A and B are shown apart, each in its own frame.
Chain A
Amino acid sequence: MPLSNEQIERLAKLARLALPDDETVNTTRGHLNSIFAVIAQMQSIDTAGIDPMSHPQELAARLREDVVTETDRRAAFQAIAPRTEAGLYLVPRVIE
């Protein structure tokens, strides 16, 4: 079932991607539909009873001691932010 332009625009909104114009939407739709045509090959395979494999090594999550291991590097991390002020990240006003 091929995707429509409306579905592409909805996906872009979910993914927080601004597609600049209709031409981009059209091109993206064409590419995505050809990608889904390849993906469709796996749809018909019977996988009943097969456990999904999320990871090559079946690892349990490691636990560590509950101690502080990180140092405060706020200044270094904020030095690369687009806009900060007084140790805070600045974004457009959200609450009027």
Chain B
Amino acid sequence: MSAAPLSGVSVRALRRALDAKEISSVELAALFLDRIDALDPALNAFITVDRERTLAEARAADERIARDEAGPLTGIPLAHKDVFCTEGMLTTCASRMLSGFVSPYDAHVVALLKKAGAVSLGKTNMDEFAMGSSCETSYYGPTRNPWEPGHVPGGSSGGSAAAVAARLAPIATGTDTGGSVRQPASFCGVTGIKPTYGLVSRYGLIAYASSLDQGGAFGATAEDCAVLLSAMTGFDERDSTSLERAPEDYAAALAAPPADAARPLAGLIIGLPREFFGDGMSDDIRVAVDAALAQYRALGAATREVDLPNARLAIPAYYVIAMAEASSNLSRFDGVRYGHRAAEFTDLADMYCKSRGEGFGAEVQRRILVGTYVLSHGYYDAYYLQAQKLRRLIAGDFRRAFAECDLIAGPTSPVTAWTLGAMSGDPVQMYLADIYTTPVNLAGLPGLSHPCGFDAGGLPVGLQLIGDYFSEAKLLAAAHRFQQATDWHLRRPALAA
């Protein structure tokens, strides 16, 4: 059979083709590597691609398949956000600071996926140290949105989202501290899930804000995300906040047939926070989100209004906590043990200052400075402690809302992908666009974004679904039923046709 259409099919279909020996893992990897060669110069979704290494992993996968030892991901190509350490391979976090950093170990997520036999196509572009919502702060230049190359892909996991949207990889890993999986998924018209905090090990995930950082998954569909996420979760003693829970097979949960095929979501109550449907959302997004909710009702779900009265405080609380933790985490970059060291300096203190001043970009420096301020003597109570108290209020809002509903739905972002450079002069404008995603991280809840339409300019709109703790299977199942009844997830940017 012809291999070309395989770039656009589901992981399940790829699995079937590999198991039936219709295609080898080496051929499949080569197909995606060729797409990257052809299309990525225009997108800049990847920072590092190592063809030989990828093909060697694919050969090993083929041997496993030949021995009938294949798991769900054996031989399936994927891409890793460049925030995950990969042994023997460049891991840059899109920063000059780590532009020469070859990791001496694998992140837990990378090791799990390697063990599952997944074939890594390379490392994807991102905002520097995951600090940004547009992928423009990368030392390696911005990633472009496959739907409209003059627009941003969202961030910080913009490279992973763009790679999946352009079918340069069927699935990809990402991380989400304040929306960094869900917002780029929405901007690029793909599906992305951030699980409950603590389900995915942070070991080897270069830290930004440790109490918020969480690994996540991108795919064209909820079903593809389910396969990837199932392989990423699980207890890891090397992460002090990893949860001791048995991993779930989310893909199997989706495969179970609904009791009522015509109304597969009968009995599901979707809460609509009044605060997420007020002013500030663009009209195109409102229309798309309302239509998606009508579709959910047609599938049997009921919707009701709920309140998240403290959600409006999420932006200031999030930025205080994230920047404080960032200033602490990034103090490890000292130019001594790894990372950039300035060429000239007068003494040790000057070496630290120049190495960090040269190695970090402007947005990273801003966040370190704000974090340093809010943690400094005399300000801790007024800022960090106050933000942590608001965090509890926000988590309490969700707890009360989930007493009245099973899932919460709303827009992922108040805007669609903006043009490159449109927000770079005004960091605060960009922060404010994280209004619907940051409350979820503060509470530590799982959230998912799936495509639900387009704006007048042809750019994708995402619907966010938020679940209670450990409700990943429910979130993925709801999105899966939606996708079985709609075709937004099948739309493809012209460039990837």
User: Residue on A with the closest CB to B210?
Assistant: A55
Number of A-B contacts (CB under 8 A): 167
Per the 8 Å Cβ criterion, residues 36-52 of A in contact with B are 36-43, 45, 47, 50-52
Q: Are B428 and A56 in contact (CB under 8 A)?
A: no
Interface positions of B from 363 to 400, Cβ below 8 Å from A: 365-366, 368-370, 372-374, 376, 382-383, 385-393, 395
Query: Which residues on A sit within 8 Å (CB–CB) of B197?
Result: 56-57
The smallest beta-carbon distance between A2 and chain B, in angstroms, is 12
Q: Identify B353's interface contact among A18, A53, A62, CB under 8 A.
A: A18
Query: Is A77 in contact with B427, judged by CB distance below 8 angstroms?
Result: no
Which of A17, A36, A51 has most B Cβ within 10 Å?
A17
Q: Does A68 contact B (CB under 8 A)?
A: no
In Å, the complex CA distance between A82 and B351 comes to 12
B427 touches A35 (CB 8 A): yes
- Contact A80 B317, beta carbon cutoff 8 Å: no
Please count how many residues in chain B sit with their CB below 8 Å of the partner chain's CB atoms: 72
Q: Which of B53-61, B277-285, B330-338, B460-468 contacts A (4 or more CB under 8 A)?
A: B330-338
Q: Is the CB of A92 within 8 A of B316?
A: no
Contact among A13, A80, A89, A94 for B102, CB-based, below 8 A: A80
B29-37, B121-129, B154-162, B236-244 - the one binding chain A: B236-244
Q: Contacts A16-B353, A79-B104 given; indicate if A45 touches B390 (C-beta within 8 A).
A: yes
A81 an interface residue at 8 Å Cβ cutoff?
A: yes
Q: Which residues of A contact B418 (CB under 8 A)?
A: none
Residue of B nearest to A77 (CB): B104
Does the CB pair A34–B393 fall under 8 Å?
no
The answer to whether A57 touches B317, judged by C-beta atoms less than 8 angstroms apart, is no
> Which of these, A32, A34, A64, A77, contacts B369 with CB under 8 Å?
A32
Q: Which residue of A lies closest to B374 (CB)?
A: A39
Contacts of B337 in A (CB 8 A): 77, 80-81, 89
Contact with B along A1-40 (1 / 0, CB 8 A): 0010000100111111111100000001001101111111
CA distance A13 to B335 in the complex (A): 16
Residues on A with beta carbons closer than 8 Å to the beta carbon of B240: 59, 61-62
B443 x A16 contact (CB < 8 A)? no
Q: Which of B101, B241, B357 contacts A55 (CB 8 A)?
A: B241
* Partner pick for A83 among B341, B352, B393, B427, CB 8 A cutoff: B341
Contact at A16–B356, with CB atoms within 8 Å?
yes
In this complex, what residue of B is CB-closest to A56? B444
Knowing A11-B373, A42-B316, say if A52 contacts B385 (CB, 8 Å). Answer: yes
Quick check: A50 and B393 within 8 Å, CB to CB?
yes
Give the distance in Å from the alpha carbon of A34 to the alpha carbon of B237 in the complex.
41
Cβ contacts under 8 Å, B24 to chain A: none
List, in ascending order, chain B residues with CB within 8 A of A76's CB: 104
Within 8 A of A (CB), among B121-176: none
Given the known inter-chain contacts A8-B369, A11-B372, A57-B444, please indicate yes or no for A39 contacting B383, CB distance below 8 A.
Answer: yes
Query: Does A67 count as interface, using CB distance less than 8 angstroms?
Result: no
Task: Assess whether B198 is interfacial by the CB under 8 Å rule.
Answer: yes
Residue B347 at the chain A interface, CB threshold 8 Å: yes
Can you name 10 A-B pairs with beta carbons within 8 Å? A11-B369, A17-B356, A32-B366, A36-B370, A38-B315, A51-B392, A52-B392, A54-B211, A57-B197, A89-B337
Inter-chain pairs besides A38-B319, A39-B374, A80-B101, 10 sampled, C-beta below 8 Å: A11-B376, A16-B334, A16-B356, A28-B369, A32-B373, A34-B428, A35-B427, A35-B431, A39-B316, A81-B338
Question: Which 4 interchain pairs have the tightest Cβ spacing?
Answer: A56-B444, A18-B357, A52-B388, A82-B341
Residues of B within 8 A of A (CB): 101-102, 104, 196-198, 211, 237, 240-241, 243, 313, 315-317, 319-320, 327, 331, 334-341, 345-354, 356-358, 360, 362, 365-366, 368-370, 372-374, 376, 382-383, 385-393, 395, 426-428, 431-432, 443-445, 469
